[in-house]
Amino acid sequence: MSAPDPGFGIYVHWPFCQAKCPYCDFNSHVVRNVDQVTYARALVRELEHMAMLSDPQAVTSIFFGGGTPSLMKPATVETVLAAIDRLWGINQGVEISLEANPTSVEADKFRALAALGVNRVSLGVQALNDKDLKFLGRLHSVDEALGAIELARTHFGRMSFDLIYARPDQTVEAWTQELTRALSFAVDHLSLYQLTIEEGTPFFDLHARGAFTVPDEDQATMLYDATQSICADAGLNAYEVSNHARVGAECRHNLTYWRYGDYVGVGPGAHGRVPKGGAKCATVTERMPSKWLALVEAQDHGLVDQETITPAQSAEEMMLMGLRLQEGVSLKRYASLSGKPVNADRLSELSGDGLLQQTGDQLKATPAGRLVLNKLLGELLA
Ligand SMILES: C[S@@+](CC[C@H](N)C(=O)[O-])C[C@H]1O[C@@H](n2cnc3c(N)ncnc32)[C@H](O)[C@@H]1O
Ligand code: SF4
């Protein structure tokens, strides 16, 4: 069987939120009265620059991520999509996703976004429990989240939502109940993340001061195992560490990252892997929205770093991304990029430990391996 085509995606970062959640270290900022016309114009200029930089490709997915892209006015989304269409073309069947917060969606906006071609929404529900939503600093209630799910189901062909688990004091029984309830509202895709305490966030300081504790490793493993089996029983396969979908309903845009395809990233703090002269160019833009805007206005782009990735780096990145996927990575592709095969001794050692599994040309992390992916990669690629 030939390897699936990784596709080519365009990522658009909208860095603004109504409030900053205490656990979040994404590039998101609370700014009142964002001038969306100016911002849209800057996104278009940066897209034009990226199109010039990049070898021609057929776009397979577009992803509005954040921050909170559901705070974008439909006219802003329209301007960005029109530019992508002009520069690359948007064929029928291109996946166009947008991340939405339950507090910033209304029927009119969803209707307008769907009419513009957005065909997939990913909602940040986070919990189906009001006490935990409050703990997570979310502005919505369970009722509002369920209303937003309903609305998204009405307007979009495809809909997913995010939940954060492994919260303080969360038992396997409570999570089982909550996840089972969530599955009754799900269509065909769920993103289920374990709460991580990120440095530089309010949760990091609170956690360090002992204001709350998170499940220890054993408890987290039990919660993870319960997640895998409950979703599998419901027909939502864990196609990636934190992502569950029915076959065919996987997020194509994220698959492009994990299958190590090419993508352009625009907006503050966006990363890209841009195809250039047959190689991959890693791009990063300025994170601070005001500085990014000033850079784009001065030079047509907000790039602060741009470097061609060596084949050896590409091989490592491909392994890093691909082992997140249930389908794994092609050992031949790794060898042809890096110029040498994976170290056979390490491979057999890690397979013997039950962390890796090889089927023909495909190398996969086992469920146990996926739980300790960073450590596993460190050992495999040392
Ligand atoms: C870019 S964010 C969210 C989009 C949207 N602004 C929202 O909050 O609904 C993508 C997802 O990452 C997850 N996330 C962010 N920080 C996290 C953390 N520290 N631990 C676990 N999940 C996290 C949340 O589930 C969130 O919905
Ligand atoms: S989790 Fe979402 S809403 Fe909260 S700060 Fe991060 S990006 Fe913004």
Tens-digit pLDDT profile for residues 236-285: 999 999 999 999 999 999 999 999 999 999 999 999 999 999 899 999 99
The bound ligand whose nearest atom lies closest to the alpha carbon of 19 is 2
Q: How close is the Cα of 64 to the center of ligand 1, in Å?
A: 14
Residue 1 has pLDDT above 70, yes or no: no
Q: Is residue 145 part of a domain?
A: yes
Q: Is residue 305 part of a domain?
A: no
Residues 105 and 160: their CA atoms lie apart, in Å, by 15
DSSP string covering 300-338: S--EEEEEEPPHHHHHHHHHHHHTTBTT-EEHHHHHHHH
Tens-digit pLDDT profile for residues 116-152: 999 999 999 999 999 999 999 999 999 999 999 999 9
Q: Is residue 299 part of a domain?
A: no
Q: Is residue 87 part of a domain?
A: yes
Q: Taking Cα atoms as reference points, which of 337, 339, 336, 334 lies closest to residue 347?
A: 334
Mutate to test the pocket of ligand 1, among 193, 243, 253 (most ligand atoms within 8 A of CB): 193
223 with 157, same domain: the answer is yes
210 with 320, same domain: the answer is no
The range of the structural domain enclosing residue 245 comes to: 8-256
The bound ligand whose nearest atom lies closest to the alpha carbon of 28 is 2
Residues 373 and 276: their CA atoms lie apart, in Å, by 30
The bound ligand whose nearest atom lies closest to the alpha carbon of 98 is 1
Mutate to test the pocket of ligand 2, among 28, 193, 196, 198 (most ligand atoms within 8 A of CB): 28
Supply the pLDDT for residue 317: 95
Asked if residue 66 has its Cβ within 6 Å of ligand 2, the reply is yes
Angular region, 34: left φ>0, alpha ψ -120 to 50, beta rest: beta
Tens-digit pLDDT profile for residues 146-177: 999 999 999 999 999 999 999 999 999 999 99
Mean pLDDT, rounded, of the chain:
96
Q: How close is the Cα of 193 to the center of ligand 1, in Å?
A: 8
Residues 365 and 326: their CA atoms lie apart, in Å, by 7
Edge-to-edge strand list for the sheet holding 8-14:
237-240, 243-245, 189-194, 158-165, 120-126, 95-100, 61-66, 8-14, 262-266, 271-276, 279-285, 303-308
- Of ligand 1's listed atoms, the one at least distance from the Cα of 138 is 8
* CA distance readout (Å), 240 to 152, 221, 224, 300, 378: 23, 16, 13, 36, 19
Q: Is residue 268 part of a domain?
A: no
In this structure, what DSSP letter does residue 360 have?
A: T
Edge-to-edge strand list for the sheet holding 362-365:
329-330, 362-365, 356-359
Q: How close is the Cα of 24 to the center of ligand 1, in Å?
A: 7
> What CATH number corresponds to the domain at position 351?
1.10.10.920
- Of ligand 1's listed atoms, the one at least distance from the Cα of 191 is 25
211's CB contacts (< 8 A; 6+ apart) are none
Helix (H) or strand (E) holding 81: helix 74-87
252 with 315, same domain: the answer is no
> What CATH number corresponds to the domain at position 95?
3.20.20.70
- Of ligand 2's listed atoms, the one at least distance from the Cα of 20 is 5
> Average pLDDT in the 183-204 region?
97
Contacts 24+ apart (CB under 8 A), 285-288: 285/46, 287/15, 287/27, 288/29
Asked if residue 17 has its Cβ within 6 Å of ligand 2, the reply is yes
Angular region, 169: left φ>0, alpha ψ -120 to 50, beta rest: left
Q: How close is the Cα of 334 to the center of ligand 2, in Å?
A: 35
Residue closest via CA to ligand 2's atom 4 equals 21
Tens-digit pLDDT profile for residues 334-350: 999 999 999 999 999 99
Supply the pLDDT for residue 150: 95
Q: Is residue 25 part of a domain?
A: yes
Q: Kindly report the backbone phi and psi dihedral angles of residue 20, in degrees, each rounded to the nearest multiple of 5, phi listed first.
A: -95, 120
> Average pLDDT in the 45-54 region?
97
pLDDT band per the 50, 70, 90 thresholds, residue 382: confident
The set of protein residues with a Cβ atom below 6 angstroms from ligand 1 is: 23-24, 26, 65-66, 68, 99, 101, 124, 126, 162, 164, 193, 195-196, 198
Burial of 13 (0-12, 13-18, 19+ CB in 10 A): buried
157 with 224, same domain: the answer is yes
Residue whose entry in the numeric block shows the structure tokens 């990233």: 265
Count of domains in the chain? 2
Give the chain's radius of gyration (CA, Å): 21
The bound ligand whose nearest atom lies closest to the alpha carbon of 193 is 1
Count the neighbouring beta carbons within 10 Å of the beta carbon of residue 228. 16
Instruction: For residue 374, give both structure tokens.
Output: 């960073």
Angular region, 234: left φ>0, alpha ψ -120 to 50, beta rest: alpha
Least confident among 72-86, 95-109, 266-280: 95-109
54 with 134, same domain: the answer is yes
Residues 13 and 78: their CA atoms lie apart, in Å, by 15
Angular region, 154: left φ>0, alpha ψ -120 to 50, beta rest: alpha
